[in-house]
Structure 1
Amino acid sequence: MAEPVRVRRLTDQEGQRLRQIVRRGSIHAVRYRRAMMLLASGGGNGVPVIAQLVAAGEDTVRDVIHRFNEIGLACLDPRWAGGRPRLL
C-alpha cells in the first residue's frame, strides 16, 4: 500500500503566510482553498478528510500537496492558460 500523502514540514514563514491567507479570507477563492488544504494536511488530516472539508476531489488535494512539496507557496496561484474559450 502506498504511503499517505502529507505536506512537508512547513517553515515558520510558510505557516504564517498560509494562516494569514485563511484568516483574511483571501479575495481569490482558489488561493484560500489551497491554503486550507495545506494547513489541514500540516495539521495531520488525511486526504479524504481534507477533500470533504474544502469540497474538492481527493485527486485535487493530492495534486496541491505534491505541488507544494515541489515548489512551495507558488503552488497557491492558479496557472490558467490563456486562449480562446472552448465552444460547446
Structure 2
Amino acid sequence: MAEPVRVRRLTGQEGQKLQQIVRRGSTSSVRYRRAMMLLASAGGNRVPVIAQLVQADEDTVRDVIHQFNEIGLGCLDPRWAGGRPRLLGVDDEDFVTATATTRPVRLGQPFIRWSLRKLV
C-alpha cells in the first residue's frame, strides 16, 4: 500500500500565513479552501477526511498537497489557463469590425443590415 499523502513540515511563516487566510476568510474562496486543506493535512488528517471537510474531490486535495510540497505557498493561487486560443488575429479582427460597422450597401451588398451569417 502506498504511503499517505501529507504536507511537509510547515515553517513558522507558512503556518502563520495559512492561519491568517483561514481566520480572516476575506480572500478568494479558492485560496481559503486550499489553505484549509494544507492546515488540515499539517494537523494529521488524511486525504478522505480533508476532502469531506472542504467539500472537494480527493484527487484535488492530493494535487494541492503535492503542489505545496513542491512550490510552497504559491500553490494557493491556481494557474488556470486562458481558454481556447484565438482564431482571429488582430488584423482579421480589425477587418471584421470595419466591415460590420459599414453599411452593406456601401460595400456593394444588396441588403440593408448585417447578420452573422452574412458577415461570414
How high is the TM-score relative to the length of structure 2?
0.68
Query: How many residue pairs align between the two structures?
Result: 85
Alignment of 1:1-88 (within 5 A): 1-84=1-84
CA RMSD of aligned residues (A): 1.2
How far, CA to CA, are the matches of 1:56 and 1:26 in structure 2? 20
Aligned identity (percent) is 86
Which of these two proteins has the greater Rg computed from alpha carbons? 2
Report the CA distance between 1:68 and its aligned residue: 0.1
Q: Distance in 1 between matches of 2:26 and 2:73?
A: 15
- Give the counterpart letter for 2:23 in structure 1: R
Structure 1 segments unaligned to the other structure (5+ residues): none
Instruction: Name the amino acid aligned to 2:65.
Output: I
Kindly indicate whether the alpha-carbon contact (under 8 Å) linking 2:21 and 2:27 is maintained by their aligned counterparts in 1.
no
Offset at residue 82 of structure 1 (A): 1.1
Q: Structure 2: 5+ residue runs without aligned partners?
A: 85-120
